[in-house]
Amino acid sequence: MKTIFLIDDDEVTNFINKRIIKLNLPDVEIHVAANATEAIQRIKQRNADNLPAFDAIMIDISMPDMDGWEFMDLMETDEFYFTNQTSFFMLTSSVFEDDLNRSKTKKLIRSFFSKPLDANKVQEIAAAIL
């Protein structure tokens, strides 16, 4: 079963995104973390449990404990070598062109999406993981 990991500090956004994904990809398993620190712990635990890496990770830029850029910097380190199998997507409310341009410099980021998530964006994610 394919897996998608949503990382956003907004509960309502996570709830809505889960619903949109399930409507479009009913056979996908969805995991949610409310912040990047929790997400890192869950990613490490998944690896320690010998489970496959998440197929897709969607992360917001603005979060209180660690922002999406810091998270992505960490994902690019040798400690997280196993995330090379993962497609990363920035899903953010940022309207700054600097953020879009910065996402293009990150080797792991597949796409930069502006919120809200919609069926077209879910189909792009599906194309990357299915």
How confident is the model over 53-111, as pLDDT tens digits? 999 999 999 998 899 999 999 999 999 988 888 999 999 888 778 988 999 999 899 99
Q: How far is CA 54 from CA 43, 61, 94, 114, 121, in A?
A: 8, 19, 24, 22, 18
Q: Does domain 3-129 have CATH number 3.40.190.10?
A: no
> What pLDDT is recorded for position 94?
82
Tokens of 74: 């960490």
Helices 36-48 and 68-75, packing angle to 10 deg? 20
Residue whose structure tokens are 């502006």: 114
Rounded Cα distance between 25 and 22, Å, is 5
> What pLDDT is recorded for position 103?
92
How confident is the model over 108-124, as pLDDT tens digits? 999 999 999 999 999 99
Phi, psi of 28, deg, nearest 5: -90, 140
Residue 88 DSSP SS3:
strand
Q: Give pTM, 2 decimals.
A: 0.94
In the chain, domain spans: 3-129
